[in-house]
Amino acid sequence: MTPHPRNAHIKGEPQLPNRFIFGDAVDESGLEATEYLVHTAAPAFVCRLVGNDFTDFAGRDEDEFASALLFDVDGNRSIYVCNRGLRLFDFNFSGEPPTAARLQAICDEAIACYQRLHEAYAEREVGPKAREMRQGPTEPLPPAERSRAIRTLRDAARAAAQDPIHRAGFAAQVQQALMGGDQAVFTEAQLSLLGEPVARALLVNSARDAIAFPEVVRADGSVMSFELWALPFAFSRAQGGVWWHFPLLERLETPLADALDVPEKAILWISPTLFTVDMLNERACQNLMHLAGVMDAGCDFAPLDPESSRATYEAARKTQDPQLVISWLPFLVERGALPVEQARQLSRKALDAVMPLVQQAIGAEMEYGEAELFAPLPWWESLQAGVRAWNRKRLGLTVALIATRVGGLQDLEAVAEYQPEMQGYEVGLKLRGSEELLARSPWLVVPDVAPDKDATWQDLCDCLREADIPLSETIVKLH
């Protein structure tokens, strides 16, 4: 853009404004007590508008809409009234004044527009309309049928690893196993291949791709290809329990797509369902296979039964249980519409655009303390980045508090013990030569279809090595 010369003739915009414009005005005393109506078309005029008007006229008590244009002899002015309790007065015309019938017709249209405006305001305040919530199947198979399904999937992975011809249909077999209601089929199949790393890697990577790059077959036979992304979201809570469905998150779609420069006609849908580590671990991320199909149908995905989950949350929130929660806000993007490098470059712009909306949406359903939103990333990268940041933040805060108490890090050492129930390690910190633990901190495994405990241990070792804190592992022996 270039500055206008001072003597330049200003051109008007080709796009005309709305015919009726409503708004407030301020004077020396502050906000005026009346609103204003501007009629931009001929006959153009400005007038004042007030509500709660009960001026008597012939149609005041009618059920149908009625109005009248009255003349105030004492004030020497025209007044428009209607049985909706609204009054227009102080008409200032910029051209030739219209006839009384013409002005009354224009004011009737203005009142109808004003009511639609307030309905839009009310709808925006209430939030989006409630959508149907759908759950994925969770029916476990009978033992014999489950064993047969596990063997079939395992043998298919072996065949695909040995012969590329079998790989064409292998992806569909993996997708079918994940879409079923028994998560043990895939889990047991990949565990049975621990001694065959090539076949197991093919099976696990196929499952990850099926979740990260879902395809939806619509009723008309067309196929839509998506990519699953997420915004990691960490927050603190003073109460117990965590809620997971936030309808107002739907408002993020347009500003997020604009901030990330997603093409105008490309799809970007954000899920109003928040996923925590516990929710993802409960079904080893397998229920995410249903997310794209549910969202494409215009519904919200429910990873848990909504009614029982809400009752549990309402009971838990009455307790005092300070906690720091790491979670993810998934969103679907039409495949190819958002290059990873473009998302990285625009991540700060995206976070600035959506963070206030995220806080408003979460705050409308659940009390929380401090919150932090991380850059949008493809699904599996987002899980890894979120857990990595959360682990380091928790451990760093714990170490800092102990270092302040004992006068530094030089005498600290760490002992870690794997806790299956929390899907992670419990890291204990103590002084060298002492058996008394000064504090404990969790170090979580990244949620996955096949969680990698060894990678989590290596990440913990690397983190403590950077802090120059010795680390040892306690292995529980079961007798």
Structural tokens at position 325: 């929660």
Query: Which 3 state secondary structure label does DSSP give 283?
Result: coil
Q: Give the pLDDT confidence score for residue 316 in this predicted structure.
A: 94
Residue extents of the structural domains in the chain: 20-126, 133-212, 222-375, 388-473
| DSSP-assigned states of every residue in 217-269 | E-TTS-EEEEEEEEEEEEEEEEES----B-GGGGGGHHHHHHHTT--TTS-EE
Q: How confident is the model at residue 300 (pLDDT cuts 50, 70, 90)?
A: very high
Q: Tell me: pLDDT of 478 over 70.
A: no
Query: Which 3 state secondary structure label does DSSP give 273?
Result: strand
Q: Rounded CA gap, 142 and 149, in Å?
A: 10
Phi/psi of residue 273, nearest 5 degrees: -95, 125
Dump pLDDT digits (tens) for 409-426: 888 899 999 998 889 999
Q: Tell me: pLDDT of 461 over 60.
A: yes
Q: Rounded CA gap, 465 and 382, in Å?
A: 24
Q: Tell me: pLDDT of 1 over 90.
A: no
Q: What is the mean pLDDT of residues 295-319?
A: 92
| Between residues 126 and 303, the one the model is more confident about | 303
Q: What share of the chain in percent tops pLDDT 90?
A: 71
Q: What share of the chain in percent tops pLDDT 70?
A: 98
| Between residues 454 and 122, the one the model is more confident about | 454
| β partners of residue 237 | 323
Q: How confident is the model at residue 220 (pLDDT cuts 50, 70, 90)?
A: confident
CB contact at 8 A, 61 and 67: no
Dump pLDDT digits (tens) for 131-154: 888 988 888 899 999 999 999 999
Q: Rounded CA gap, 158 and 276, in Å?
A: 33
Neighbours of 327 (CB within 10 A): 22
Dump pLDDT digits (tens) for 49-78: 999 988 889 888 898 999 999 998 888 999
Q: Give the pLDDT confidence score for residue 258 in this predicted structure.
A: 95
Q: Rounded CA gap, 319 and 367, in Å?
A: 13
Q: Give the pLDDT confidence score for residue 422 in this predicted structure.
A: 87
Sequence-distant (6+) residues with CB within 8 A of 95 are 42, 43, 44
CB contact at 8 A, 409 and 468: yes
Greatest mean pLDDT range, 3-7, 433-437, 444-448? 444-448
Q: DSSP class of residue 204?
A: H
Neighbours of 317 (CB within 10 A): 17
Please state the separation of Cα 178 from the chain's center in Å: 24
Q: How confident is the model at residue 228 (pLDDT cuts 50, 70, 90)?
A: very high
Q: What is the mean pLDDT of residues 453-477?
A: 88
Q: Give the pLDDT confidence score for residue 173 in this predicted structure.
A: 92
CATH class of 388-473: alpha beta
Dump pLDDT digits (tens) for 230-278: 999 999 999 999 999 999 999 999 999 999 999 988 999 999 999 999 9
Dump pLDDT digits (tens) for 327-379: 999 999 999 999 999 999 999 999 999 999 999 999 999 999 999 999 999 99
Give the residue carrying structure tokens 């949620």: 447
Q: Give the pLDDT confidence score for residue 126 in this predicted structure.
A: 64
Q: Give the pLDDT confidence score for residue 139 in this predicted structure.
A: 84
Q: How confident is the model at residue 224 (pLDDT cuts 50, 70, 90)?
A: very high
Calculate the dihedral angle through the C-alpha atoms of 79, 83, 85, 89, rounding to the nearest 10 degrees. Answer: -10
Q: How confident is the model at residue 479 (pLDDT cuts 50, 70, 90)?
A: very low
Q: Rounded CA gap, 402 and 429, in Å?
A: 8
Q: Tell me: pLDDT of 396 over 50.
A: yes
Dump pLDDT digits (tens) for 8-42: 888 777 777 889 999 998 888 888 889 999 999 99
Q: Tell me: pLDDT of 427 over 90.
A: yes
Q: Rounded CA gap, 438 and 431, in Å?
A: 8
Q: How confident is the model at residue 476 (pLDDT cuts 50, 70, 90)?
A: low
Sign (positive or negative) of CA dihedral 127, 132, 136, 138? positive
